[in-house]
Amino acid sequence: MPQPFTGLHGATSRRRFLGGALASVAAMGVFPALSTGAAGAPPPPDGIGTAGRRTLIKGGHVLSQDAQIGDLTGDVLIEGRRIVAIARSIDAPDAAVIDAMGRIVTPGFIDTHHHQFETALRSFLPNGVLFADPAREGEPTYEADILHSFSKVYRPEDIHIAQLFAGLSQLDAGVTTVLDVSQVHRSPAHSDALIEGLAAAGRRAVFGYFESYGDNSAYPTDARRLRDAFFASDDQLLTMLMGGEIYVSGIDPLDLWKIGRDLDLPIGLHAVGYPPVREVFEKLIPHFTDRHLFIHMTEMPDTVWRGVRDAGAHVSLSVPIEMQMRHGMPPIQKAIDMGLAPSLSSDVEVTMTADFFTQMRSTITLQRALANQLTFDADATDVPRLLTAKDVLGFATINGAKALGLDRKTGSLTPGKEADVILLDATALNVAPLNNAPGAVVTLMERSNVETVLVAGQVRKWKGALLGHDIPALRDRITASRDHLFGAVGREIPLYR
């Protein structure tokens, strides 16, 4: 039977939540180990991630993403939730040891744009596009099928399990941080359930407060209550971002951006440059700041790109989705030409996987395909530099942290930062023998190579298995949610179509 959802309705429930799930996340409490790892591997050493406990990740191939530290074969020393040292050899006889021989050690991947509320609808639109095109009648579209249909029938319990299941799935694939863009704030209770689900996954997350449909939606005025209730402390895994779309009917985007500024929140918005949209963005250029995150930036004119660059704003690219769903050609080369350092994001699982190996491979393959093609053009005089695997790994880690304003905490293996660390198995059948560490991560690996995952020093995945969650029971819950959603919109599950 699906596990019941215990909602967060009313002040008493919210206080109980703040004293429970979110507070335990902030304090970095240990999840119970319901699994001991793959093939009966012993559990991780006791107390990893707790205050004063030292952990030594020993003998790994460290890709630090810190220019001062560089890459080396050696050790990473963690005390509590923070990295304290990285060197070729560290003597720490009091530390618990994680053997990293034959493993690549990197910062966890950072997803800067993911609509996690859609988890129960995975692969529902494998052939879908973003908006309808009059020249192609009958195509399934994200706008009609998701935003104007399914998003209107979500219950708080559907949002909760979607967030939890998505978070665990990405943790399993080494994604330790996410910006969740969930457009299902149909009521304050829906928003509360969403935040509880984010916290329950036990990873770093930015709660993106974006627009929604529904008569009881309190967007955007509920932003202050949510900020004060759940995000008053900066010393926790969860933070908040204000959605500042230009597409929300009846709301001036500058009013949304003012809310973000007043609450000291970063601002995120989708930037898909169909002709009427470009004009709006051009008018908004004087209001861009270094706390803006622009998602997609497809088909945007140079004036907007220069505005983003000059403001010190950030860009998130969802390359597989942009190619698949007709957002326009992913502007990876434009971002590079403009001197911008893009981050990567998975976008929507209704159409494409959210694992970051897919995001990295799509990005490097597309850029190199476009640049390589120019070498066949006799008139090409300025052929772009080819992206390297090391470049793209930076997009997936430190660039993501900078885009979310979290680079003081995560994104690189740097002493003083929190220990968001993944160990990737380079002895596996699909990788060995290891000849190039960043190349193996970007061009060879997939989620089965993600062996161990730490978030702020806490072990979330160990020796190939997630810890602390009953996955079969959660699978029952997400399946029950899927059944409710399809029933509520009166549609059949398109299993073979």
Number of domains in the chain: 2
pTM of structure: 0.93
User: Bigger pLDDT: 41 or 483?
Assistant: 483
- The CA distance from 188 to 251, in Å, is 19
Q: Is the pLDDT of residue 286 over 70?
A: yes
Residue 441, in any domain of the structure: yes
Q: What CATH number did the domain enclosing 248 receive? A: 3.20.20.140
| Residue 276 belongs to domain spanning | 109-403
Same domain, 113 and 100: no
Q: Is residue 477 part of a domain?
A: no
* 54 three-state secondary structure: strand
Residues 425, 341, single domain; the answer is no
Task: Supply the DSSP symbol for 80.
Answer: T
Range from 144-148, 276-280, 309-313 that averages highest in pLDDT = 309-313
Cα distance between residue 12 and residue 342, in whole Å:
42
Residue whose tokens read 């309705």: 9
Q: How many angstroms separate the CA atoms of 331 and 317, rounded?
A: 8
pLDDT at 3 over 80: no
| 365 and 444 both lie in a single domain | no
Length of the chain (residues): 497
Same domain (yes/no): 94, 36 = yes
What sign for the dihedral angle of Cα 9, 15, 17, 22? positive
User: Which of 384, 403, 422 is a domain's end point?
Assistant: 403
Same domain, 226 and 271: yes
pLDDT tens readout for residues 408-450: 999 999 999 999 999 999 999 999 999 999 999 999 999 999 9
Measured between alpha carbons, how far is 38 from 465 in angstroms, rounded to an integer? Answer: 6
Residue bearing tokens 């993600």: 450
In-domain check, residue 12: no
Give the closest residue to 83 by CA, choosing from 109, 101, 108, 103. 108
- CB burial of 340-350 (b: ≥16 within 10 Å; e: otherwise) equals bebbbbbbbbb
For the chain, the straight-line distance linking the first and the last C-alpha, in angstroms and rounded, comes to: 29
State both tokens at 301. 């004119």
Question: Taking all residues of the chain, what is their mean pLDDT, rounded to a whole number?
Answer: 92
Please report the pLDDT score of residue 37 as a whole number. Answer: 52
In terms of DSSP bridges, do strands 204-209 and 175-182 run parallel, antiparallel, or are they unpaired? Answer: parallel
CATH number at 439 reads 2.30.40.10
Structure tokens at 379: 């008139």
Rg (the chain; Cα; Å): 22
Token couple for 246: 């230009």
Residue 138 pLDDT class (50, 70, 90 cuts): confident
Q: How many CA atoms lie within 13 A of 464 on its CB side?
A: 10
For residue 24, is pLDDT > 50? Answer: no
Is 175 a member of any domain? yes
342 and 446 in a single domain? The answer is no
126 and 168 in a single domain? The answer is: yes
Rounded Cα–Cα distance for residues 472 and 53 (Å): 32
Residue 274 included in any domain: yes
Give yes or no: residues 292 and 332 share one domain: yes
